[in-house]
Amino acid sequence: EQELAEEESRFMKMLDHIRDAVLGMNDGLVEILSVTMGLVGAYGSAFHVALSGLVVAVAGALSMGIGAFVAARAQRQVHEGSLARILLAARYAAHVFEDRIRRFMEDKGYSGEAASKVAMESAKDPKLMARIISEEEYGLKEERLEDPRAAGLYTGLAYLLSALLPIIPYFMSLPIIPSMLLSLLIAGLALSATGLVIAISANLPVKKKIAEMVLAGFGSAAATFTLGRIFSMIFGVTVA
């Protein structure tokens, strides 16, 4: 049972990292695709689109990485604070927790005698008692906690790598329209791959999820392109 629990814990940690990476990839693709399309609509210079998109990509990666780190760290601190309070209560009010543990065991199907033995044994060790109470009553498990540094690193790197994809065509010295079309193609393929990963990991319909991701990304890009064109006309920016 211990070996199976350890394997499950490692698997859950891997899923957490995949979640962070997918979150960063999705945000990077959609945000930078939208930004570049808006810039194309605003002034149509491939070099300026590439340079501006790169700046936004780096800034966004830092923001996403730091945000993921702060969120995971805050969650860990709240979790550790709750465990500390439960442990303190277990040391000075063990009889109250003993009754709760006995009821937990009975709800799980243990006989009254077996449940009482488990409760009595746990009462001898405040740390064990606190762990049982935190898991059974509050759903707080140590293995569910994310490493803040890993969360920030995975999210930030995934964002940056995916954000660079829509920008690459604008660095290829192509005219603005071919650059835009190639950027849309690359982004569409990347969004499809991201949708595939999400669908498989969450057991969702693959085609539906891919269509959802692509339509959302392209819809956002179309909206920002239109907004860029409007700003271009309002402020009299010349499109190359």
Instruction: Tell me what percent of the residues of the chain surpass a pLDDT of 90.
Output: 30
% of residues, the chain, pLDDT over 70: 87
Question: Which of 111, 112, 133, 109 has its CA nearest to residue 122?
Answer: 133
Q: Does the pLDDT at position 69 exceed 70?
A: yes
How far is it, in rounded angstroms, from Cα 91 to Cα 126? Answer: 5
Three-state DSSP class for residue 110: coil
Task: Please name the residue ranges forming H helices in the chain.
Answer: 2-42, 46-92, 94-107, 112-123, 126-136, 148-164, 176-202, 206-235
pLDDT of residue 110: 79
Dump pLDDT digits (tens) for 104-131: 888 878 788 888 887 787 777 777 777 7
Measure the CA–CA gap between 219 and 226, rounded to whole angstroms.
11
Is the confidence at residue 240, as pLDDT, over 90? Answer: no
Instruction: Choose between 134 and 210: higher pLDDT.
Output: 210
Lowest mean pLDDT among 127-141, 158-172, 207-221: 127-141
pLDDT at 13: 59
pLDDT at position 139 is 66
CA dist list (Å): 133 to 2, 79, 88, 94: 19, 13, 12, 11
- Over residues 142-155, the pLDDT tens digits come to 556 678 888 888 88
